[in-house]
Chains A and B, each alone.
Chain A
């Protein structure tokens, strides 16, 4: 079990329930920081328009 797994385990006797503390990522949108480091990766070509595949299952 990893440290992160431990954080999702609120009912283990003797251990602090830190699961609530873990969910602090959500305000990224409000803080306007979600796009940091993303802009440069977004293609400015017609990548999605040219994306065609065979139909699958």
Chain B
């Protein structure tokens, strides 16, 4: 039953507040539980009774209560808008290292469900599985904070000064095999006009994408050489029937909206492909590599030689995909509406007023910084200081990074909050298998005695959780005591595996 206040708030269009607990506190069985406010409705709770109102502002109260295992595992709905499409998103960032670095302790699984590891000499962050592009942005941003633990200076970019490149990969769980996706090439080739991060070359030329010039094939399976615009790397990380599309053509984004557009529009294109609603675009895929590089080399008037029509405009191609997505998915859900609005608005501004995209599109923001600085100090194109601006834009340090200096001054459009990002450094997404991974890791970390006294530890793989306990049976062949290893499958990325997490925690608690 809704109380009177809830009905009034609902009538006025407000969402009622909901109480959630921080992950550590949820696992702290007898200590006071601090509560925080979010705005997603959960009919199973009566949040208003738990709030006191002071001067019109709701203030969370501290209560002392015993939390059962059931309570720990009650589904926690996301506080984000709805997204009504079955999809899994994951991002991987290879960070450039600009200071001291330590790979000690890596690989490291984190309670937010992510993995940090060393790859090709880089600190790499692989986000937890998320169910929508907005969560994907938040957990990618959380990775910037978590990764700083391993180096005094990290750059979230994709290219160094001597021509090496390193990736910002995207992963999409989809229901159509990647080798049948050639029809989306025109979209991928042109996506950089809003998703590119920009690059100032030593000769002073500016490219809108950092990665475009490293693409060598339209389709391919390699990731360190002969890179393909559509990557066919086969590593599903699931036993389910779907496919993992692993894209390596994209840039590392600093702007939240650009990242949201990159991930969100690509997912919409996959929706169209799965629903057989892609616009018919007559495109010669043999031109894709040249087209992606040509587009990257221009700040406007983008064209695709591979288009077999009179209108070869990159903006026109994007608009065709946009119109198809609007026709199919407008009003499907809140996030999709946000995407469609931002996509259309961005394309309009790319055509009519690029300056208005400063703070939303990385390459435009970076180019404006470089151009203004060069003008102010009368520096030639390609001056080392201007190249510093290019690099320092990607500094993930909130105090020294140029992007974050702009953001701290309110000059960057945001679709998340610092609080959401901070929360995402410790708390896993609640609606994917990352939930079980994060909960179990948090539980084991919180109950140190399990690992110290009973040698209960975890070993993680993306689709399996292993619980290791100190061996008591002597090995017949070698005579030593081996750890007992119990594997638990979490192969379905859409399943939060709540019961499995409950079972593992219950069994672990028996040892305390």
Contacts and interface: CB of A to CB of B under 8 A. Distances in A.
A49 B353 CA distance: 33
A29 B15 contact: no
Contact of A23 (B94, B121, B413): B413
Nearest to B368: A29
B392 A4 contact: no
Contact of B161 (A41, A44, A50, A55): A50
Interface in B357-413: 357-360, 368-369, 372-373, 376, 384-385, 387-392, 400, 402, 405-406, 409-413
Nearest to B92: A57
Contact of A29 (B155, B372, B416): B372
Interface in B102-150: 119-122, 134
Contact of B368 (A8, A14, A19, A34): A34
B59 interface: no
Given A23-B356, A34-B358, A55-B120, A43 B80 contact: no
B337 interface: yes
Contacts of A26: 349, 353, 355-360
Contacts of B481: none
Interface in B217-239: 223-224
B417 A4 contact: yes
A35 B369 contact: yes
Contacts of B353: 26
A4 B416 CA distance: 7
A53 to B, nearest CB: 4
Interface string B321-354: 0000000000100100110011001000100010
Interface of A: 1-2, 4-5, 8-15, 19, 22-23, 25-30, 32, 34-39, 41-57
Given A5-B338, A9-B337, A15-B13, 12 more contacts: A2-B420, A5-B134, A25-B356, A43-B388, A44-B388, A46-B384, A53-B166, A54-B121, A54-B122, A55-B165, A57-B119, A57-B224
20 contacts: A1-B80, A2-B416, A23-B413, A26-B357, A26-B359, A29-B358, A35-B369, A41-B402, A42-B389, A43-B385, A47-B392, A48-B388, A51-B155, A52-B161, A53-B96, A53-B166, A56-B120, A56-B224, A57-B94, A57-B120
